[in-house]
Amino acid sequence: MSTNVSAIGLSGNFQQFVIEVIIDPPNLPTDSSNTQNYALDSIAIGDALQVVAPYDAEAVIITAAPSGEGRIDVNFHNTNAGTVNLAPGLFKLIVTRG
């Protein structure tokens, strides 16, 4: 799917697509972060990524960014007052390229 975007200072043709990936989040103690790396052939440097968890992420902030051609880093940051161990699941990555 391609989407034309016109906003303050932005114009052009941006492509958006969704990739599904099975992710097993790490056990996260209070106020800690952990980064996992995944190989995904369709990812390119410069892509913008948004992560959608398949469940309530319990105040864990989940972000992703390309770490190289065909690779992404997914970061989990626990903002809870206690340890969180999220279940494995089929996460969606919304990829914007433009």
pLDDT tens digit at each of 98 positions of the chain? 555 555 556 667 789 999 999 999 999 999 999 999 999 999 999 999 999 999 999 999 999 999 999 999 999 999 999 999 999 999 999 999 98
**Domain extents in the chain:** 2-97
Q: Side chain identity at 76, as an amino acid letter? A: F
CB 66 within 8 A of CB 49: yes
Q: In terms of DSSP bridges, do strands 33-39 and 71-78 run parallel, antiparallel, or are they unpaired?
A: antiparallel
Residue 95 confidence (pLDDT): 96
Residue 98 confidence (pLDDT): 85
77 Cβ neighbours under 8 A, 6+ residues apart: 28, 32, 33, 60, 61, 62, 63
Residue 23 confidence (pLDDT): 97
Termini Cα distance of the chain: 12
Residue 65 confidence (pLDDT): 98
